[in-house]
Amino acid sequence: MAEARLTLPGLISRKHAGERIVMLTCYDALFARLLDQAGVDILLVGDSLNQVLAGRASTLSATLDQMIYHAAAVRRGTDRLPVVVDLPFLTYQVSVEDAIRNAGRVMAETDCDGVKLEGGRVMAPVVKALADRGIPVIGHLGLTPQSVNALGGYRVQGRDEAVAGDLLADAIALEEAGASAIVLELIPQQLARQITSRLGIPTIGIGAGVHCDGQVLVLHDMLGLNEGFAPKFLKLYAEMGKLTREAVGKFAAEVRAGTYPDQARSFD
């Protein structure tokens, strides 16, 4: 008998039980299967795929069709794990009606478990509208990549007391609007601790210190595939960029030497 799918409400119960939550980005079925087998709790189909897979400079040009394609692939890789999908830039900021329509399309076409969007109090009406219609939402505060130009680049947010107060107010507003969890990116660990203790929903940190209820990283970053990207918060758990080069180099050498394929890998 197949194991029951985890749920976003189930993650809330994990917070109250003091159990840490493990989230990773995922963009395809193959990695979804591996991450499920490895014991990850939740998969995020992040608009970071626009940078990691498509080679773009930011997430801003990610499209709804792009997100739906990859989210559907991730869902085919796991029946058990919750899959949350980033709503890309300008698919939810223009109007509540647009947000409902686009988030509904994501849910219907991918069989995902919820969507993620960036922004604080200004986005609370959108979060409430989606939650009221049965669409679970994860918020995102701190360094919000879709606003990177307005924030002046990829840098820590909330070191200023006034900004820290705004972020706390934003987190409270998102919870009151019905958010299921909130990602906290690049904020001081003391502020993350304050927000986490104030909320009844989980916080998932990335560059926000140890006091969050869970942690998320971009899969390709923590596997060492995105070489040259080395922010302070990132820990490499493998060097797959190096291993890939070595493996492909061996393959190329054997092809050129005529030793691959050998007789054992040929057909009569």
Residues with a catalytic annotation lie at: 185
Number of C-alpha atoms within 13 angstroms, CB side, residue 178?
A: 15
User: How many beta carbons lie within 10 A of that of residue 260, not counting itself?
Assistant: 13
Q: How far apart are CA 63 and CA 75, in angstroms?
A: 18
Cis peptide preceding 261, ω within 30 of 0: yes
3 state DSSP class of 89: coil
Q: How far is CA 1 from CA 4, 37, in A?
A: 9, 16
Task: Yes or no: say if 217 and 234 are a contact pair by the CB < 8 Å rule.
Answer: yes
**C-alpha pair distances (Å), 50 with each of 23, 46, 63, 85, 152:** 19, 9, 9, 13, 20
| Residues 73, 32: Cα–Cα separation, whole Å | 9
